[in-house]
Amino acid sequence: MNLNEWTKESIAALIDHTNLKATADRAAIEKLCSEAKAFGFASVMVNSAYTALCRQQLRNTPVLVGTVVGFPLGQMSVAAKVFEAQTAIADGADEIDYVVNIAEVKNRNWNYLRDEMERITSACHRQGACCKVIFENCYLTKDEIIALAEIARDVKPDFIKTSTGFGTGGATPEDVRLMKETVGGAVKVKAAGGIRDWASCRAMIEAGADRIGASAGKQILDEFSGQEK
């Protein structure tokens, strides 16, 4: 999108409005949903225990319900991740963001990672849900990011994603650009982790991000609106 064509509404439509805190109570999640409806965010992104509540809160609205799986470490069996994804979709999730098994990336066990991606993507798509694959780039080398992105280019989940926001680092424009260059038009890219203002959000979009994960969506939109004046 050309910079001159950006509007508050078009930016909001790129943002997954996120609250993944362990301490998030029901009131916090209801507030998240209310804000998502008011500002027109793409989705809310929550831990799976709150999927059904969000579905109830967002029924008959265009806001999607997003749920994380294998979060935030990715260190459980593929079967466990598939089950969590299927359960979340049954509870009303439209989108699943799952964390790859990072240890198996370090083991260079590409067959395992391809199988994991195929099984989870297939489970999501069979039930009509979007699948996003979280790489957690702060722990990966550039070659590892490329190798994972090449697998994704073949398997075709809907998105590959930079970070959980719980690692040692978040999204960078350089990583977004690398991921986008590797997958081309076959898969979209979501940037998440540390995106707390309009400047960082803009940098990710300009690098090629198709979706932004952020808990600071309201601040991003306020700063964008202030810049317009």
Catalytic residue among 97, 132, 175, 180: 97
Catalytic residue among 81, 132, 180, 190: 190
Catalytic residue among 161, 175, 180, 188: 161
Contact 45, 213 (CB under 8 A): yes
Closest CA to 102 of 79, 77, 145, 73: 73
Q: What is the DSSP letter of 137?
A: G
Other beta carbons within 10 angstroms of residue 217's beta carbon come to: 27
Alpha-carbon gap, residue 78 to 120, rounded angstroms: 8
Active site residue 142: no
Active site residue 21: no
Contact 201, 6 (CB under 8 A): no
Alpha-carbon gap, residue 44 to 148, rounded angstroms: 26
Active site residue 222: no
From its phi and psi, is residue 193 left (phi > 0), alpha (psi between -120 and 50) or beta?
left
Catalytic residues: 97, 161, 190
